[in-house]
Amino acid sequence: MTTPTAPPTTPTTLTQQGPAIEITGPLRERYDEILTAEAIAFLTELHHRFGHRRHDRLADRMRRRFEIGNGHDPQFRDDTAHIRADENWRVAGAGPGLEDRRVEITGPTDPKMTINALNSGARVWLADQEDATSPTWKNVIEGQLSLRDAIRGELSFTSPQGKEYRVTAERTPTIVMRPRGWHLTEKHIRFIDRTGRPMAASGSLVDFGLYFFHNAQALIDAGRGPYFYIAKLESADEAKLWDDIFTFAEEYAGIPHGTIRATVLIETLPAAFEMEEILYELRDHCAGLNAGRWDYIFSIIKTYRGRGARFVLPDRSEVTMTVPFMRAYTELLVKTCHKRGAFAIGGMSAFIPNRRDPEVTQRALEKVAADKKREAGDGFDGTWVAHPDLIPAAQAEFDAVLGERPNQVDRQRDDVQVRAEDLLDLQIGRPITARGVRDNVSVAIRYLEAWLQGLGAVAIDNLMEDAATAEISRSQVWQWIHQDRLTEEGDRITVEYVEGLIAEVLAEAPRREGDRFDDAAAIFREVALQEEFPAFLTLGAYNRYLDA
């Protein structure tokens, strides 16, 4: 990597001229290895060049949400029809180490989880700084340290009980790092623009910038590369912004154009209508798309929360991958990817094994196998799991379809024809039950309590919960209240009804010194019971409740 050309700053000192970065979080042991003057200079350049465009794209999201809320359903774009009609362009495709992605494991980047992921036997590890990470300052910076050490073969971890963890696998997964979405900020880093105006740094640019700056060359030297999962995109314009960031980063580091590879999660309803355009804008850097199923369901609820009864979904457990709108979305994703030479990666099964309960484990394995069999049969090239014990079941289903082939990108899905109305067919024909309402309240509060304690991925009732599943839970409760829904048992879902459930959940919670259940309940009330609907539950919770 070439020496940075931007003027360096120290982590805690502002320059008097030009844009600058200020670190406001505490500088703990080894943080100076990540927050170097050179890395800060790179972050400064990223924010100076691209920060204003980020704000423009977030404003576009608000306008689009307002239009849909007022009855203007999303459509496939007329102004980009020529891109979809042009049969000649293709994306860059797999980089070194991404040719076979049949099973990918996801998880946060703390040392223990990093080591477990690298020892798991998966082909790819999604190193998650987004929904599976509670963005405490400790998790953000020490996650970067874990990744830095792992990439250099230097990572080890000793638990409080004295157990040592090390990477022992001969073949470790290819790392694909997921930075935070555009909507999230990093409150421990401030960007000061040329006018002297301070603002919170972009979580996306901080996560991407620090990881790329410290690891791009080391990854290339190891025969792989700087690879990223891009979360929560809503448009091709947002994809274009990321593509420009990638191009600038490559030039800054002195590495060839196209070295970076990105896989975009299609996990918002607007993005489902622009899959092909997203691939096109990222074509020099794109490896594929992923069906981010849980955030996609949340996006639909959020987008149509005020549009009437026909857009109200039943219990979360009833919104499966086989309901009409989810089938349309996933089949369109596979068709679009393979048409353009891109990988189609399947979504996360929430079921997880319980090593103390063989019956629960057996049910989890059966459900995961059925889910992955469907994905492999539909043409997906790989899939996600959240636990190492699920890898054999998932891999068996993809092995049965792929055999010795690394992927099935050459399989075209010309039989798939998806219309705009298919993506909006939300009729499932199942009820809302009292159990479903209570489960949503319970899961959301228990997850938020863990999130406030610094845990972003949490096993609750034998399901793996993260920020996306908590978003489904709280947004369903909000919509059911505001659409005046009844449970199957005849109870009207009101604020008072839900307050009663909150009281039950708090009474049953395993209270202990230092727990955050009262704060978690307060957050839930703010995001599920108020008149206004916050776009993301993590926004207010991060600024008001989350400790450093």
Q: Count CB neighbours of 399 within 10 A.
A: 14
Two tokens at 499? 């307050």
Which of 468, 437, 449 shows the shortest CA–CA distance to 522?
449
Secondary element (H or E) of residue 458: strand 458-460
Which of 159, 126, 160 shows the shortest CA–CA distance to 143?
126
CA 538 to CA 135: how far, in whole Å?
9
CA 102 to CA 394: how far, in whole Å?
8
Contact 233, 271 (CB under 8 A): yes
Beta bridge mates, 191: 21, 199
CA 472 to CA 294: how far, in whole Å?
7
CA 76 to CA 336: how far, in whole Å?
13
CA 327 to CA 271: how far, in whole Å?
16
CA 189 to CA 476: how far, in whole Å?
34
- CA-based torsion, 453, 456, 458, 460: positive or negative: positive
CA 375 to CA 338: how far, in whole Å?
14
Positions marked catalytic: 178, 466
Q: Count CB neighbours of 453 within 10 A.
A: 16
CA 84 to CA 105: how far, in whole Å?
32
